[in-house]
Structure 1
Amino acid sequence: MRTMRLVTTAVSALAVAVTISLAAPAAAQNVPADLSTLPPPDTSYTPPKTAWGDYDFSHTYQIEYINNARILLQRPESFGNRFFLTPEEFAKRLAAAERSDASYSAASDRGIGTSGTEGLADWIKSSTFAHRTSMLVDPVDGQLPPMTPWAKDMMEKGRSSWVPVQDFDWVSDFDSWDRCVSRGFPASMFPFRYNNGIRVFQSPGYVTIVLEMLGTRVIPLYKDKATAEAAGWPGNVESWMGDSRAWWEGKVMVIETTNIKSGDSVAGDGYSRAASPLNVATQATLPFNTTPMTKQARTIERLSMPNDHAIDYTLTYTDPAVFTAPWTARIEWVRDDKYEFFEYACHEGNQQIKDYISASRAHRKAVIEGTQEAVTLENDPSARFATIFDRDPAATYPNAPGGFGGPPPPPPPPKDDNKGG
C-alpha cells in the first residue's frame, strides 16, 4: 500500500564513498563516439573464483543510484534513439545529482543527521551506465513495445490501489504488492523508489539472489543450457518468482525463468490473479500495476562483472500474448558490501488492507447521505499514476521542468551586529 511503503535508511555515507573510490574516473572514455551504439557487456575482467570453481559474484549490490539519478525505464522523447547522453545532457544530470548530494552535506538546522554525502554525483562521474538515456535498450527507441489488444483491455479493467476512482470492498480490489505478497517477476529486479539492495550468495550448484524488498530467489546451477532447460518444472506448476535455472557461458551467468504466476488483475478468484511484470514504483513504466501475464512469459537474465565493483545485468522479457515484441533492459548493479538491509516488515496480515476497505465503505455511505463528495479523476490522488510523471533532469520536456527542480536558494546574508535596528 502507498501509505505503508516506508523508506528505510540503507546506505552508509562512508560505505558509499569507499565503494565509489574503487571506480575508475574515466567512465566517459567508455562512452562510444556514436551515441546510438550500445557496446556489448565488457567481459575482459576475470573475477576471482569460489573454492568449487564458479566465478565469485557473492557481494552486496544496490541499484538505488539508478532511481536517484532519474535514469528512467522508458527513454524520454528528447533523447531519440540514442543510448547515451551528449556531454551537455550529462552535465545537467551531474548538476542535479550534486544538488541532491548537497542535502546530505551537513546536519539540519535542528541538529538532525550528520555530515556526509549520498554519493550520487561520485557514482555519476565514475560510471559509464550513468551516461545512459534509459534502462530499456530494446526496442531501440527505448519504449516498451505496444501491448496486444487483449492485454491492454485486461490492464484497463484490472483492480489495484493504483487505479483511480476505484472503490475497495475486498482483497480482490488490490494487487499482489498492495497485499505484500510479491512485487512479482521480473518487476522485482528493477529499481523501485526505495529499498534497492541486492545480495548474491553462492554455494555448489546454487546461486541465491536476496532482494531487500519482498523476494528471495534460490536458483539451481546446471552444467549447460540444455541440462537447465530439461530440468524445468511441469507447465501446471507456477510461482510468483517463477522457475529459474542458471548456467555459465564463459564468465557470464545466464538465468532462464519460466512458469511465472500467470493471470490478471481482473479476476475475483485469487488463484487466477498475477503480479504485473512491471511495477508502477519503477520510474516511467506502465500504469496501475494491472498488466496481465500469461503462461508464455519467459525471461533471460545475463550477469557479468566488468570490474570488481559492479555487475552488468541484462534482462529480456517475452510474453507474446501481452507484448507485441520482446523487450530488453540493461542496468548496473553497484557493489557496496557495507550496504545494510533492514527488515522489510510488509506482510499479508497488515492492517492497511482492512483500513482501505472500511474507509471506502464509509465514504460510499457518506456520498449517499450527501455529506461527502464522490471520488472523481479531478480529486483522486491516484489519477497521477495514469501517466508518466517522472522526469530525467538531463532530458528536455515540453512545458515541464525536469529532474530535481532548480538550484537551492542562496543562503541569507550574514547578520551585521554593528547595525542598529
Structure 2
Amino acid sequence: MQAKFRIAGAAMAFALTAGAVSLSAQEDLTKLPPIPDDYTPELTEWGEPDLRGRWPIDHLNGLPFQRTEEQGNRVFLNEEELAERQARIDRLAGRYEAEDSEDKIGQGHWVEMGVVNRRTSLLVEPANGRLPEMTEEGKRRSAEMRSSWRREQDFDWLTDFDSWDRCITRGLPASMMPMMYNNGLRIFQAPGLVAIQMEMIHEVRIIPTDGRATVPSQIRNWIGESRGYWEDKNTLVVETDHFRPGPSATNIVTSGSPPENDSPISTEAKLTERFTMTGPDSIIYESHWEDPVIFTAPWGTRLDWKRDSTYEFYEYACHEGNVQPRNYITASRAERAQEAAGNTGSSD
C-alpha cells in the first residue's frame, strides 16, 4: 500500500531555487534525484518524528500546477524556459514597488510571488505532468459546477458560488497547493495526533495517528476524514477519504491549473499524502489523488517544503466581510435586466 504511489518507482527530490540546481547538457531533464533517506529527525517527547513548525509554501507560488504539452515528460526547465520564468517572476514581483511609486494599491500588494523554481510542474503523476482526462460522469458533474472563477456564468443565489467563494473551504487537495496569497501551513503534534493549520480559510486538519477506526460511511466532510501513521524513521503517511461530494466541493486554482478549475469530488475520492523530513528545516510532500468517478486515472504532486519560523499568520476574516456574493448577484441581475431592456427596445 505504502509503495503504490511512489510515482512509477521514480525518485522525486528537487532543489527549491534555480540557483540550487545546475544541470549540464548531458543530464536527463526527465529525471528527479532520489528522496534523501539518511536524515534522522528529532523526536517529540513521546518518541515520534517532530514535524512541528511553520511550513509556508509561498516560495512555490509561480510554479505551474501542470506542464505545457510541449514540455512532455521533462520535470526540469531548459535554460531558455528558466530565463523566461525568471523574467516573468521578476516582472510580477516588481508590481509592488511600481504601485508604491504611484501611490496605488493593486495586485502587486495582493499577490505573493515565489522564487524561481526549475521544476516544470507540481504534478509528477502521470509522467507528462498533466491532469488525466475526466470520465464522462466527471465531465457532467464539472459542467454543473458554479463558481465566481468561471468565465461565463449568471449569479442569482448562493448556490451559484462554490465553497471557496463562500469562505467555507478551499477543499482538498487544493488547500495543500500554493495560491497567490495566504500560503501558510503550520503543524502541531500531540501523542497520537497531528494537526495541520491552513492559513487560507483558517481550517485545521485533525489527523489521528493512534490507530483508531475511521468514522461511519454516512459522515462526509469538506476536507474528508484523515488517519495517519508513521513509516520508517522520518515519514508521516496520511490517508483521507469520506469527502463530501458535490459540484462545488473544490477548485484547484493555482498557477497553471485548468482555466475554469472545475474539479468535482465523488464519494469514492481518496487522498494519500507522505510528509518526509529530509533535513532539520525541509520536508518533501507527496500527494496521490484517486477519484475513479471523476478522473480516468490517478494523479499526484510533489512539493518541497522549507521551515520558516518567522512566517506570520494573520486573521483570515473572509466570511465576516464577504460582501462579494451579494455584489455578484446584484451586478449580474442588473446586467441581465439591462440586456433584456435593450433587446425589448430594439424589437419595437
- With structure 1 as the length reference, what TM-score do the two structures score? 0.69
- In the TM superposition, what are the counterparts of 1:146-157 in structure 2 within 5 Å? 146-157=133-144
Decide whether the 8 Å contact of 2:184 with 2:313 is kept in 1.
Answer: yes
> Cα deviations across residues 209-256 of structure 1 (Å, max 9, x unaligned)?
11111121111113xxxx46xx11211111111001111101111000
Give the gaps of 5 or more residues in structure 1.
1-21, 125-129, 266-274, 374-421
Residue 242 (structure 1) aligned with residue 224 (structure 2): yes
- 2:161 alignment partner, one of 171, 174, 192: 174
User: What's the C-alpha RMSD, in Å, of the aligned pairs?
Assistant: 3.2
* Rounded Cα–Cα distance in structure 1 between residues aligned with 2:112 and 2:247: 40
Offset of residue 315 of structure 1: 0.4
Aligned residues: 323
* Rounded Cα–Cα distance in structure 2 between residues aligned with 1:302 and 1:291: 22
Residue 304 (structure 1) aligned with residue 276 (structure 2): yes
Decide whether the 8 Å contact of 1:59 with 1:201 is kept in 2.
Answer: yes
* Rounded Cα–Cα distance in structure 2 between residues aligned with 1:188 and 1:51: 29
Offset of residue 172 of structure 1: 0.9
* Rounded Cα–Cα distance in structure 1 between residues aligned with 2:246 and 2:182: 27
* Rounded Cα–Cα distance in structure 2 between residues aligned with 1:95 and 1:338: 28
The residue number in structure 2 matching 1:259 is: 242
Offset of residue 289 of structure 1: 4.3
The residue number in structure 1 matching 2:189 is: 202
The residue number in structure 1 matching 2:76 is: 84
Decide whether the 8 Å contact of 1:181 with 1:348 is kept in 2.
Answer: no
3-state secondary structure, aligned to 2:147:
coil
Offset of residue 112 of structure 1: 9.6
* Rounded Cα–Cα distance in structure 2 between residues aligned with 1:245 and 1:316: 15
- With structure 2 as the length reference, what TM-score do the two structures score? 0.82
Residue 62 (structure 1) aligned with residue 83 (structure 2): no
The residue number in structure 2 matching 1:186 is: 173
From the superposition, tell whether residues 28 and 119 of structure 1 become closer, same or farther in structure 2 (CA, over 3 Å).
Answer: farther
Decide whether the 8 Å contact of 1:175 with 1:289 is kept in 2.
Answer: no
3-state secondary structure, aligned to 1:316:
strand
* Rounded Cα–Cα distance in structure 2 between residues aligned with 1:65 and 1:356: 32
Decide whether the 8 Å contact of 1:175 with 1:290 is kept in 2.
Answer: no
- In the TM superposition, what are the counterparts of 1:4-403 in structure 2 within 5 Å? 26-28=20-22, 33-67=27-61, 70-98=62-90, 108-109=100-101, 124=116, 130-214=117-201, 215-222=203-210, 227=211, 231-250=213-232, 251-265=234-248, 275-276=249-250, 278-279=251-252, 281-347=253-319, 350-370=322-342
Identity of aligned residues (%): 43
* Rounded Cα–Cα distance in structure 2 between residues aligned with 1:219 and 1:243: 8
AA aligned to 1:221 is T
Offset of residue 100 of structure 1: 5.4
* Rounded Cα–Cα distance in structure 2 between residues aligned with 1:252 and 1:330: 15
Flag the structure with larger Rg. 1
Give the gaps of 5 or more residues in structure 2.
1-15, 106-110
> Cα deviations across residues 37-81 of structure 1 (Å, max 9, x unaligned)?
2334222222211111111111111111211xx210111233221
